[in-house]
Amino acid sequence: MDKTTPAVALRGITKTFGPVVANDHVDLDIRRGEILALLGENGSGKTTLMNMLSGIYYPDEGQIFIDGEEVSIRSPKDAFDHKIGMIHQHFKLVDVLTATENIILGLEKRGRLDLKAAARRIREICDAYGFVIDPDQKIYEMSVSQKQTVEIVKVLYRGADILILDEPTAVLTPQETDRLFAVLRSMREDGKAIVIITHKMHEVLDLSDRVAVLRKGQYIGEMATKDTNAQEMTDMMVGRSVSLNIRRPDPVDPKPRIVVEGLTVRSPEGVLKLEDVSFEIRSGEILGIAGISGSGQKELLEAIAGLQRVESGDIWYVEDDGTKDRLIGKDPLEIQKLGVALSFVPEDRLGMGLVANMDLSDNMMLRSFREGHSVFTDRKHPHDLAEKVVDELEVNTPGVSTMVRRLSGGNVQKVLVGREISSAPKVLLTAYAVRGLDINSSYTIYDLLNRQKEAGVAVVYVGEDLDVLLELADRIVVLCGGRVSGTVDGRTADKNEVGLMMTRLGGGKELA
């Protein structure tokens, strides 16, 4: 393979969304037989740039060369014709269709639809790269990592040799991530060009050959991975020096604050979501909750916040003087008044907690509108609070009267967490508080949580990134399929051990 001509060369690519410049004259080379890591903070335009390669967006300015020839990619179909395949962060799969149907979707071929032949070719591809999927399985019956495999097979089926993966590991367990990386490495050996977008530094160092950095839509520079380190890359992304160590102050006078005993929760469909879960949340401490997504984290936090019907078990709120209040049976408002704050960031970030079409100060008001005796709402305090949150958390927004919908993901999360903290809670429940956030914003959130902990708040942190959990949390409760697989000390626990506990109760050996 000719290594001198890049597989893809972007020259002077510019894309604007209204007044926002997402990409500003970006130049980038993607080479064959190489894994390129594309780095940048949230809103730095990585995904936008790659979407222009995959035909989702069309650049306002600039040229795209493929193997030295200028091309115009006007639609996803054009991208396939140039053998470019993108695996989006949010899977582009139709739930009610089978794997095979999803994979051949959009392929224009003459003749009748031959699903059997397609399934045969899919099996061949799976065998070649060591994937395990059932072509006839429906997507909605699949796990996240199986869905991702379908996505990868989909682009391979189309004969793509330029692969773009947008945050592929965000939802995978460490073991699944290892398997994915092995596949990507074997594709690199095949001479494919691979671009991976990720926020996790250790993955960049582990997997990539070359690193390119974007900042605020501009191309900052590139370097060989072996010549750089996490600190340098982060500094380039942020534009100034940042400390990469997560602080973990010692717990402040830990006392039981919330005691969960034998909690069992069923979904409305009757599926067991939590089974006999017991643990305690202590003040002045960060309790991490680890687990594959969908292991009952959501139900657990909602049960504590009074939003979830509980089948059996008890949840107690313990006052400073030792008196116990029973939380089950109380409505969410009463629980909030006790000082339990829930900051839950669902997958779509906006589903719970914030109203997308309302501005910042109105969203602050969602917490306080019941206060006061007048029939009119108090708009001044929420407005001030919004300005304070924007100011202290460095929320990037044109003003407090901007609709939340218009903010980027990281800023939305800062607003949500900022509001919850402002109510001076005794217990702060956070789920996926840094989901999809870049390093800098994540560290701002970690620091916020630590400051709450030092103020004596009992903090619960449900997280996906085990590295962070192990650095941030004092204790970690590991959930597996709705049951407590074990509780470990954050200071001494080992990542692989926790990873195993996430997939099997107690972390026993894999069944052959």
Partner 1 sequence: MFDFVAFIPRAVAQSIPLLFGSTGETITQKSGNLNLGIPGVMYVGAIAGVIGGFLYERACGTADNMNPVLTILIPLLCCLLGSLLMGLLYCFLTVTLRANQNVTGLAMTTFGVGFGNFFGGSLIKLTGADVPSIALSATSNMFRKTLPLAKTTGWFGKVFLSYGFLAYTAIVISLVAAYILKRTRTGLHLRAVGESPATADAAGINITKYKYVATCVGCMIAGLGGLYYVMDYACGVWSNDAFGDRGWLAIALVIFTIWRPDVGIVSSILFGGLYILYLFIPTGMNLAVKELYKMLPYIVTIIVLIITSMRNKRENQPPASLGLSYFREER
229 vs 267, which CB is nearer to partner 1? 267
Report the nearest approach of partner 1 to the CB of residue 216 (Å).
17
Residue in 77, 120, 202, 324 binding partner 1, rule: CB under 8 A: 77
Candidate ranges 91-99, 309-317, 374-382, 476-484; the one touching partner 1 (CB under 8 A): 91-99
Contacts of 461 (CB under 8 A, 6+ apart): 286, 287, 288, 289, 430, 433, 449, 469, 472, 473
Within 362-391, the residues that bind partner 1 by CB under 8 A are none
**H or E element at residue 278:** strand 272-282
87 vs 236, which CB is nearer to partner 1? 87
Q: Which of 97, 113, 210 is nearest to 154 (CA)?
A: 97
Cβ 237 vs Cβ 438: under 8 Å? yes
d(C-alpha 225, C-alpha 209), whole Å: 5
268 vs 322, which CB is nearer to partner 1? 268
**H or E element at residue 144:** helix 144-157
99 vs 448, which CB is nearer to partner 1? 99
d(C-alpha 218, C-alpha 221), whole Å: 9
Is 331 near partner 1 (CB under 8 A)? no
Within 467-506, the residues that bind partner 1 by CB under 8 A are none
Within 98-127, the residues that bind partner 1 by CB under 8 A are 101-102, 104-109, 112-113
Is 269 near partner 1 (CB under 8 A)? yes
Candidate ranges 97-105, 290-298, 445-453, 454-462; the one touching partner 1 (CB under 8 A): 97-105
d(C-alpha 211, C-alpha 205), whole Å: 9
140 vs 369, which CB is nearer to partner 1? 140
d(C-alpha 446, C-alpha 288), whole Å: 12
Report the nearest approach of partner 1 to the CB of residue 105 (Å).
4
153 vs 501, which CB is nearer to partner 1? 153
- The number of CA neighbours under 13 Å toward the Cβ of 96 is 0
d(C-alpha 401, C-alpha 289), whole Å: 35
Binding mask 5-44 for partner 1 (x = CB under 8 A): ------------x---------------------------
Count of beta carbons in the 10 Å neighbourhood of residue 112: 6
51 vs 173, which CB is nearer to partner 1? 51
Give the count of residues interacting with partner 1 (CB under 8 A): 31
Question: Both tokens of residue 8?
Answer: 């893809």
Within 128-167, the residues that bind partner 1 by CB under 8 A are 138, 140
Report the nearest approach of partner 1 to the CB of residue 313 (Å).
26
Question: Both tokens of residue 460?
Answer: 């619960």
Candidate ranges 76-84, 299-307, 335-343, 486-494; the one touching partner 1 (CB under 8 A): 76-84
Within 39-58, the residues that bind partner 1 by CB under 8 A are 54-57
Rounded to 5 degrees, φ, ψ at 52 are -75, -30
254 vs 410, which CB is nearer to partner 1? 410
**DSSP SS3 for 41:** coil
Q: Which of 29, 88, 85 is nearest to 53 (CA)?
A: 85
**H or E element at residue 466:** helix 466-472
Candidate ranges 87-95, 239-247, 308-316, 375-383; the one touching partner 1 (CB under 8 A): 87-95
- Would you tell me which residues interact with partner 1 (CB under 8 A)? 17, 54-57, 75-77, 79-80, 86, 88, 92-97, 101-102, 104-109, 112-113, 138, 140, 269
